[in-house]
Chains A and B, each alone.
Chain A
């Protein structure tokens, strides 16, 4: 195939490897700096099916490092999943792209990953990685952890198997996140490197290469420090040792999360949390959560009518926005909302209840 001729010429892949890649299904969770770079690489490499999952929309501060997006995406506040699929579709129209605008949680993760061969982590906090780790362990799926902060990068392949460590095995005590990219900054060059390593490993895993890395790789590109570390499985690990899941399989109710460094709070109503559950919602393809332009779960017409008297209402391609002076509400089709202008979860919840009321 002409499109992939340079990749097929590489001894580690060849035409057989390329064929396997074209038959592969991958889910990328998070489409920020790591995820947009990974999506770009995996789409160009010819991954047959890519599910692109993100809860957020494009902002101007993303463009320094989130390679897929444009100023027009930021001006329109297009959801990242929709923008990514839009751009990637023009890069490789021969693969299947499935954008999913959703908050990944215990209620929908199974539906998001159970029909794929591999998951690429491009998230931005420990809690979601713990959920991915538990879900992948339960379902026997390989996933690739990747993290980036300031000039520090880290990545490890988490492979199924009784002798293999899981993500939780890396830690003695898993403590809440400290610094984030919003507070400590991050280099765009770093995220490209981490994503490139993740995608190289992804291709190796998908085509069955014997060269899959089994170590934890970490580096500081500003100070030129590179470490490769062995991680042994912890026999007392709550996840791979005892199969005690803290997040996976738990009921996902309404959640309120302050978005660090953003002066914004995300509200996920219970209906959005359960939207992706295969038993509750009929599996992948369910409108609202699956497919960025899926049928709305909330009635935008009805809510827009109600909002007209409250402030400036803007109906964008995928969201309904309300500007009420000091605060803003960006409502997604599944009922999820991002309240801007406050980091106070109680205040945000009150605004959601008052204006959205789901």
Chain B
């Protein structure tokens, strides 16, 4: 299935120059598995924040569907 992946905050450096990417991922995969399809392991990114599916914050182990938009956000912790 195809989904749209977007990086936000400091995670943009993992998709330089791209506003978003349409990615072919296994059917019924999790957000974690979808990110791994573009070479991103959230566990290894110290400033990883959270994922958002179609405008709703979801869990990294939540499953995706065809046409979903997945956004990955960094933490924004400065002040």
A4-12, A95-103, A118-126 - the one binding chain B: A118-126
Binary contact track B55-75/A, C-beta < 8 Å → 1, others 0: 111011100000000010111
Report B22-79 residues with CB < 8 Å from chain A CB: 42-43, 45-52, 55-57, 59-61, 71, 73-79
Q: Quick check: A170 and B49 within 8 Å, CB to CB?
A: yes
Binary contact track A163-175/B, C-beta < 8 Å → 1, others 0: 0000001111101
How many Å lie between the Cα of A154 and that of B9 in the bound state? 10
A2 at the interface (CB under 8 A from B): no
Q: How far is the CB of A93 from chain B (nearest CB, A)?
A: 28
Which residues does chain A contribute within 8 Å of B50, judged by CB atoms?
170-172
Q: How far is the CB of A168 from chain B (nearest CB, A)?
A: 11
Name the interface size band of chain A: 35 or more
How many Å lie between the Cα of A152 and that of B47 in the bound state? 13
Residue picked from B43, B46, B48, B50, most chain A C-beta under 10 Å = B50
Which residues does chain B contribute within 8 Å of A184, judged by CB atoms?
10, 78
A26-34, A45-53, A109-117 - the one binding chain B: A26-34
Which residues does chain A contribute within 8 Å of B77, judged by CB atoms?
124-126, 129, 147, 149, 177, 180
Which residues does chain B contribute within 8 Å of A230, judged by CB atoms?
55-57
Q: Which residue of A lies closest to B43 (CB)?
A: A173
Report A173-202 residues with CB < 8 Å from chain B CB: 173, 175-181, 184, 186, 191
Q: Quick check: B10 and A150 within 8 Å, CB to CB?
A: yes
Q: Which residue of B lies closest to A231 (CB)?
A: B57
How many Å lie between the Cα of A200 and that of B10 in the bound state? 27
Pick the contact of A124: B9, B56, B79 (CB < 8 A): B79
Residue picked from B50, B51, B75, B78, most chain A C-beta under 10 Å = B78
Q: Quick check: A227 and B78 within 8 Å, CB to CB?
A: no
Q: How far is the CB of A169 from chain B (nearest CB, A)?
A: 8
B8 at the interface (CB under 8 A from A): yes
How many Å lie between the Cα of A121 and that of B42 in the bound state? 26
How many Å lie between the Cα of A5 and that of B25 in the bound state? 58
Task: Answer whether A186 and B78 are a contact pair too, CB < 8 Å, given A152-B9, A225-B8, A230-B57.
Answer: yes
A35 at the interface (CB under 8 A from B): yes
How many Å lie between the Cα of A353 and that of B56 in the bound state? 50
A232 at the interface (CB under 8 A from B): yes
Q: Which residue of B lies closest to A175 (CB)?
A: B46
Q: Quick check: B71 and A177 within 8 Å, CB to CB?
A: no
How many Å lie between the Cα of A191 and that of B42 in the bound state? 27
A269 at the interface (CB under 8 A from B): no
Which residues does chain B contribute within 8 Å of A180, judged by CB atoms?
77-78
How many Å lie between the Cα of A233 and that of B45 in the bound state? 24
A-B contact pairs, 7 of them (CB 8 A): A150-B10, A152-B76, A171-B49, A218-B9, A218-B73, A229-B52, A230-B57
Given contact pairs A122-B79, A170-B49, A171-B49, a sample of 12 additional A-B residue pairs in the complex whose CB atoms are under 8 Å apart: A32-B79, A33-B79, A35-B79, A124-B79, A126-B75, A147-B76, A148-B78, A152-B9, A191-B79, A218-B73, A228-B55, A229-B55
Closest 9 CB pairs of A and B: A178-B47, A147-B76, A181-B78, A154-B76, A149-B78, A124-B79, A178-B46, A231-B57, A34-B79
